[in-house]
Amino acid sequence: MNHWPRRRVVVTGIGLVSPLGIGSQATWDGLMAGKSGVGPVTRFDTSEYNTRIAGEVQGFDPSLYIPKKEIKKSDTFIHYCMAASQFAMQDSGLVVDDSNRERVGVIVGSGIGGLPIIEATHKVLLERGPSRVTPFFIPAQIVNLAAGQVSIHYGAQGPNSAPATACTTGLHAVGDAFRQIQLGFADAMISGGTESVLVPLAFAGFNSMRALSTRNDEPEKASRPWDKDRDGFVLSEGAGILVLEELEGAKARGAEIYAEILGYGMSADAYHISAPDPEGGGAARVMKATLADAGVAPEQISYINAHGTSTGLGDLAEVKAVKRVFKEHAYKLAVSSTKSSTGHLLGAAGGLEAGLLAMALQQQVMPATINLDTPDPEADLDFIPHTPRQTPFEYALTNSFGFGGTNGALIMRRFDG
């Protein structure tokens, strides 16, 4: 595909809703303070569940972002997306009007979609009959209605889609949006991921897989990537939305630029429905593909925002992949997992982490891996334990990996004008 003329793509707006806070600044401040967004579940009685903790978004009022009469017509993952999209658009200053609406698109995905309303509506069906099921049930819960609602709200008529690639969803959405602009199909894109599945069915399902941490007495310490005492990931919720623009258009309107996106890659493990390739083959291939797409040498990368979920297999597979790709340079670059603070937002994780990476490049600070008290002996890289690191760096990479062996990575560069 190198025969295509490639345009430069930059991040001009970031909107985050996370367990650390509502808004990108609140989330960033919590991250820099080394806080954890994980606590006891308050949405339902967890007494019969092995896991009783989660990364809940606290204090969210959907009526601040959606007309009250519309709230019940969409599930929570769409509410979070609408809020994060408004934050990102306000941050970017981009205005969609008749002059540009056909060149502004939306790619926002969700790993699971409206599981809460599916669970609640099934109960209505069983207890009250089919006539009592709301006519808004289907559009309230299907994955693509997050992107659909955003496009309707802003009148954005350009490319529109909704990846549903498990925990890689948010990154794939940003990468796909990057490609739309890079290859000239759009001038600006609203992109990212959103998720909210903190309901009994999700907890029961993930617990039956033994995927979730059961550190119920110390929830703030439950997400601990690469620590030898890690015991699973922490289920979280939220949204991460970025506004991407073609560089010259962004500069022409005087937009503030966080970072430039240089490369995007995808790969498959082709190994197992939920477990990663233990040797990190797919993860290594996606990082190599992204480096090649960006035209960046491995030695130029200074920092990796890792997938780092706090699972035994996944954490070490990613370490092996980094060593395969970066060889001796693996011991010179820094790696951290912001999931140690936020928990795992599933389909929203990649959007959130892409936003955090762009902010990190702008602020020239590498986020920490909190709770890394005793590193697993097989995890011997520089994981920035406990405290963020203020240091100059130019090139950085972020990884996302999902069930089914689907992988994605992005490379960004500090923008210096």
In one-letter notation, the amino acid at residue 29 is D
Active site residues: 167, 307, 344
Tokens matching residue 337: 């997992």
Contact 42, 376 (CB under 8 A): no
Distance, in Å, from the CA atom of 64 to the CA atom of 84, rounded to the nearest integer, reads 12
Neighbours of 9 (CB within 10 A): 23
Can you spell out the DSSP letters for 304-339? EE----S-HHHHHHHHHHHHHHHGGGGGTSEEE-TH
What tokens were used for 6? 């490639």
Q: Do strands 365-366 and 389-390 pair parallel, antiparallel, or not at all (unpaired)?
A: antiparallel
Token output for 371: 């709770």
User: 100-116: string of b/e by CB count within 10 Å (b at 16+)?
Assistant: bbebbbbbbbbbbbbbb
**Residue 412: beta bridge partners?**
261, 396
